[in-house]
Amino acid sequence: MFRRTPNVHRLVTWIGHAAVLAMCIVTARAQQPSTNDTVRFLEQATFGPNSNLITQVQSLGFSAFLDQQIALPVSGYPPLPLQPTTVPSTCTGTCVRDNYSMYPVQVTFFQNAINAPDQLRQRVAFALQQIMVTSGITITQPSWMTPYLQIFENDAFGNFRTLLGDITLNPAMGRYLNMAGNTKAAPNENYGREVLQLFTVGLNLLNLDGSLQTDSQGHPIPTYTQPVVDGFSKVFTGWNFAPPVASGVPDYIDPMVLNPSNHDGSAKLLLQGVTLPATSPVTAATATADLNAALDNIFNHPNVGPFISRNLIEHLVTSNPSPGYIARVASVFNNNGNGVRGDLSAVVRAILLDTEARTDPAGGGNPEGALYGHLQEPELFIARLLRAFNTTSATTDFVLADGYLPSNLQMGENLFLSPSVFNYYPPSFPIPGVTVNGALVNGPEFALMSTSAAINRINFVAEVTYHSMSVSSPNRPTGTWLDLSSITPLITPPSGSAAQLVGYLNTLMLHGQGSAGLLQTVTNAINGMTNATPLSMAQRAVYLIGSSPEYIIER
């Protein structure tokens, strides 16, 4: 009988461990995402891929990258000093721009979108802002808007119930949808209606997969009625701004505070037949209990999972998610696997790691097929193009919102100046004149795509590629352009070639899915520049790809 000596035992153990380690290495290598898959993943999870991030994600893998991103500290919006409601006569020069317009927060948005390390948080926060909307049309000071924006950055990976509570008592939201100063004498239904219709449950009852529930006649079943809106309107009475920080300077930083004497203590009908009982006398405790019970009532409604999941999927991945995709993500919203409802970090992971997000439609097997993907909204389009070539403060002044772009570059999405509570564009918008198998195709961002907006996208690509943006305005002191020095060696003789350059750009800008026609057109255009510099050839290649429909539509 063979008997192991201690040394033999250690040798066998070492061999066993080595074998396991080797298997892990092989498995890790086998699971390392391809460059094209990594670029496509980063188009969805960040404001755009660049060479350094591609390398990082390939080393970590998708799941570990998401873990790392979720753990990063918030880049955020720095607090701004509150200003008097009325512009003082001493506010001259750039004072109005810097204190009474969205300029400072627009600048910070693009600084974060282009260069901040917490890319996933920035992208998710931007999506959530477009569900729970306020607008600088009403919230006219950047210092008023900043605390609202900070909520989304801080709560992006927290619990949806926390986000709902924080937004409800935010002064900017209170001003925008009239909860601030809402009293029992004349309850205002604005926030009570919009928190239901737009922020949480939607107009009609939904199945887990986002499809409509219907009655026996096939009609959609309303989620709520006017008496329910009235009930929530009463819940939201009694709150107003915290005391002013100075005469004529309202407090938009601290959450709204309660005056119990202005809270309606009558019974209130909520969702799903729940009624809050009347309370008398009304106290701070009973009014706060009303608020928390009402927000819990909304949060626990079965519509919230599919409603929020579909909205986030549309912003991050695709405008036409399959019912199965919505159901899988909504199931995670309902239960993150540990019995927790509303875990946004789990929801974001589910969206980005779902088989439908990760299955390239070009290779078949994706249930959406030709419907997969979405039009890049202008802010995403701008940031993604600039990030691709590692744009820094040396090559942009970050003033890229519509309000401070030249008119020939404005694309219809004036950052933080949504025209209404319905966002810059609605979540459901059929692309005009487009059907697949007789059905309309949803394309929300196409609501912004006018003829002039389409031309202005092309103009933007031209001006940042050829470094020709006007700098006559003090709001654009240096202009914005792409530094293409990293790609000019790919076209520089004797080792460079059009094939190398176009191949690299196909990967970086189109995750390897550029059509043969587009790639050949770009190649021919470069080869026809017989006496041009490498920079000129690189510029033409970037311009042709960046202004193409294949780049503008993210698939």
Q: How confident is the model at residue 445 (pLDDT cuts 50, 70, 90)?
A: very high
pLDDT in tens, 330-361: 999 999 999 999 999 999 999 999 999 999 88
Helix %, strand %, coil % of the chain (to 5):
50, 5, 45
Whether residue 78 is predicted with pLDDT greater than 60 in this model: the reply is yes
The pLDDT, as a whole number, for residue 286 is 98
pLDDT band at 195 (very low <50, low <70, confident <90, very high): very high
Residue 390 three-state SS: coil
Q: For residue 237, which of 187, 196, 195 has the smallest C-alpha distance?
A: 187
How is residue 50 written in tokens? 């660049």
Q: At what angle do helices 51-60 and 62-71 cross, to 10 degrees?
A: 110
In whole angstroms, what is the distance from residue 545 CA to residue 526 CA? 12
Q: What is the mean pLDDT of the chain?
A: 93
Question: CA 136, 141, 146 angle in degrees (round to 5)?
Answer: 85
Question: pLDDT by residue (tens digit) across 224-281?
Answer: 999 999 999 999 999 999 999 999 999 999 999 999 999 999 999 999 999 999 999 9
Place of tokens 């979108």: 113
CB atoms within 10 A of CB 12: 11
The answer on pLDDT for 2 being more than 70 is no
Partners of residue 268 on adjacent β-strands: 276
Task: Please report, for the chain, the start and end positions of each structural domain, with discontinuous segments joined by +.
Answer: 159-302, 374-554
CB 238, CB 182: distance < 8 Å: yes
Name the residue type at position 132.
M
For residue 25, which amino acid is it? Answer: I
User: pTM of this prediction?
Assistant: 0.93
Is the omega angle on the peptide bond into residue 494 within 30 degrees of 0, that is, cis?
yes
Residue owning tokens 């309370």: 279
Question: What is the rounded distance in angstroms from the CA atom of residue 82 to the CA atom of residue 440?
Answer: 47
